Each structure stands twice: as C-alpha cells, then as structure tokens.
C-alpha cells in the first residue's frame, strides 16, 4: 500500500493530467474547448465596452488587440512589485538573436532568455501561493456554510418537503433552511443575497442568524419582515440586499402563511392549474422603513408549492439563452400533476410524484440545458407538497 505521506511523482501526475485533458478535449472538441477558455478569459479580464469594441474589429486586428488588452489587464491586476517583475520578464524574453558585424566578420549572438523565464516563474509561484491560500480559506468557509445548512429536509406530518441548493462558486449567497417553531409548526425559508461569492455568503449567514433569532419569538410575519429589514439595514453592507420567502406550515392544516420580501413569487400547482402568488414587498436591507405584509395560501392533497432562486430562471446555455420563467412553469406543470386512477379501477389512485422527484426532475432539466457551461448563479429550490397523511 503506498504511503499517503509520499509526494506524488511529477511524471505520473503529468501523465494523468494529459489523459484528463485529452478526454475533455475529445468530449468538448478542441475548437470548442479553446473558445470556451478564451471566452472565460475575456469575461474576467476585459470590461463589457472593451469586448464590444473587439467585436467591431476585423478578425486579424481583433486578435492583435485582444492579446495586447489581455496583457495590459493582467499587469494592472497584479501588485506593483509583481507588475514590475512581469514586465521585466517580458523584456528579457523578447531578447532573441542578435547580429553584429565586426569588420569583415559576421557575428551571431544568441541570447536565450533564461533570466526572463526565471522571473516569470517567480511571479507565477507568488500568484499560485496566494491562490492556494485563498482556496484553503474558501474551503474552510464552505465547510462552515455547509454545517449551517440543514443536512436533510424536514419531516412534517401531512407534508412532503424537499430543499435543494447548489452554489455557483465555492461559497454561495443562497439560503435554504428550516426551523421548528413548536410541535406542529415549521418555518421553511429560501433566501437569495445579491451577488455571489464570499461577500454574499457572509451576508447570508447574517440573514440566517437573524431569522433564527426572530422567527420563533414573532407571531406576526409582517412584523418579522420589518424587524429583519431594520437589522439588515443597520448591520448590512452598502449596496447589498437580500430577497427572502418564508413559509410557515402546520402539520394539521393545508394553510400556509408566508412572507415574501422582494423574492420572485412562488408557484402553486392545483391539479392542472398553475398559479403565481402575489408579488411581495421590498427586498431586505434596502430601506429601513419598508413595510411587509403576510400572505396566505391553502393547499389541498396533491397540491404543490414551489419557491426558487433566480439561479433557476437565469441559467444560461452555450447559445446565451436563459432557462426562463416559461420553462420553469412548463416543467413544474408537466411533472407535478397528480396521476389519476387507472381505467377500470384496476389500480388505486396515487398522489403522483414526491416533492423530491419533482425537484430532481427540474434540476436535471436545467443541468441538461446548461450542459458544460459554468453556472451563472447559485441555484436553490424549496418544494412543499400537501399529502393526505399517507405519504411521508
């Protein structure tokens, strides 16, 4: 058995890397893989106006300016010391073959730029060190964030609940959580903090802790929204806000109380009828004096209530098409309707797909739609299905 502490062999690692690259290239195609990489570089390093200017240029000129602007942007993103070192490495590597004429003798002086390559490697090592340190910190943050999230969906008599969240980056700004208010009542929440990455994740943790502290003590959902908003306005970050939809369900009833603070309206499937709930109030953390209203919806056995983040509707495929609201509605309507009794009554009627089956179907359709494109935003779903008590 190999020693786990033994360092990996460089040649073996390079061989495995080459095999992985070849597999990806065969799957995606060399041209498509190159274009995708180039598109990611342009999106990260170049501004939207700059990319628009490139599209207006002829191909040859576009290629020259693309290289120049990418190098310029790369230099500007480095620290001053590394910027000077990288510029120096370019100068040293541009030293090629020199030709000198001494009297009747022609002298060719070849100056291979070892020093320039060494300086470039030094800059790469420094940048890689910073990236690995940041990666380690993000992985630690991801572990904390996952520990704060529920490990499973809640079990509520008379209800079938499924919750799902997937971050676009190492840490995300979507909140999916539940809390037991008493023996019969459970609060289920889906929140979406503006932006992505670490700043959104930190505000998400603030949103979660605030909701957990207030929800069990506040009977009025409108007052709950007002208090949460004032706290986020007081303690939040400038230009950062959060949308939220909070459901309160009771094991003995199909009535759902809900608070919608700036979030997309949840969808309700009653048999073959798909409805959209009324829009909510302002997002949390924008104006300290915003007011919020409680909503109510009643579900019968087999009805489905679904809330989702904009990572679902804003999912983008290779053709820059959005998944969109219509596809969300069509998929929920297609998969969520209860099945009826078989002809002749030979088989008993069933309740149709579970909340998890509905959710995994929708997530699978989105994954196939996006294919190999990187995720645009965090994607989260909360599905509540009213049962007759026999389905758990």
The pLDDT tens digits for 38-55 are 777 888 888 888 888 888
Three-class DSSP category at 18:
helix
Mean pLDDT score, 203-216: 88
List, in order, residues 6 or more apart from 244 with CB less than 8 Å away: 175, 189, 190, 191, 192, 207, 211, 228, 259, 260, 261, 262, 263, 283, 284
Residue 345, pLDDT above cutoff 60: no
pLDDT band for position 121 (50/70/90)?
A: confident
More confident residue, 42 or 349: 42
Mean pLDDT score, 321-345: 77
pLDDT band for position 344 (50/70/90)?
A: very low
Q: Of 316, 366, 310, 48, whose CA–CA distance to 194 is shortest? A: 310
Q: What pLDDT, on the 0 to 100 scale, is given for residue 346?
A: 44
Look up the CATH architecture of domain 153-340+350-386. 4-Layer Sandwich (3.60)
Asked if 280 and 265 count as a contact pair (C-beta separation under 8 A), the reply is: yes
Domain extents in the chain:
32-141, 153-340+350-386
């Amino acid at each position: 058995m190999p020693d786990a502490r033994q360092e990996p062999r460089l040649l073996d690692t390079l061989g495995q890397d080459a095999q992985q690259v070849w597999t990806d290239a065969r799957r995606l195609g060399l041209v498509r893989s190159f274009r995708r990489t180039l598109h990611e570089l342009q999106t990260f390093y170049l501004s939207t106006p700059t990319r628009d200017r490139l599209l207006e240029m002829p191909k040859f000129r576009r290629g020259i300016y693309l290289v120049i602007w990418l190098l310029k942007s790369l230099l500007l993103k480095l620290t001053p010391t590394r910027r000077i070192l990288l510029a120096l490495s370019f100068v040293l590597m541009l030293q090629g073959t020199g030709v000198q004429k001494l009297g009747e003798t022609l002298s060719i002086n070849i100056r291979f730029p070892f020093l320039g390559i060494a300086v470039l490697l030094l800059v790469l090592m420094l940048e890689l060190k910073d990236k690995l340190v940041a990666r380690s910190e993000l992985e630690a943050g991801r572990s904390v964030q996952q520990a704060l999230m529920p490990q499973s969906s809640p079990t509520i008599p008379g209800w079938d609940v499924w919750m799902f969240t997937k971050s676009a980056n190492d840490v995300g700004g979507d909140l999916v959580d539940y809390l037991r208010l008493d023996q019969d009542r459970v609060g289920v929440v889906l929140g979406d903090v503006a932006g992505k990455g670490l700043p959104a994740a930190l505000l998400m943790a603030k949103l979660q802790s605030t909701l957990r502290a207030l929800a069990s003590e506040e009977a009025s959902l409108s007052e709950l929204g007002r208090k949460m908003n004032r706290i986020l306005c007081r303690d939040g970050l400038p230009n950062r806000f959060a949308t939220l939809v909070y459901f309160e369900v009771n094991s003995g009833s199909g009535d759902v109380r809900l608070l919608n603070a700036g979030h997309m309206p949840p969808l309700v499937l009653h048999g073959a009828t798909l409805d959209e709930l009324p829009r909510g109030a302002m997002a949390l953390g924008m104006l300290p004096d915003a007011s919020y209203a409680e909503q109510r919806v009643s579900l019968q056995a087999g009805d489905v209530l679904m809330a989702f983040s904009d990572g679902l509707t804003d999912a983008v495929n290779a053709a820059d098409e959005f998944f969109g609201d219509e596809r969300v509605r069509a998929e929920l309507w297609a998969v969520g309707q209860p099945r009826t009794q078989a002809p002749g009554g030979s088989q008993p009627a069933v309740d149709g797909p579970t909340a998890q089956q509905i959710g995994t179907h929708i997530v699978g359709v989105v994954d196939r739609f996006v294919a190999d494109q990187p995720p645009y935003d965090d994607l989260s779903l909360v599905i509540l299905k009213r049962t007759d008590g026999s389905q758990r």
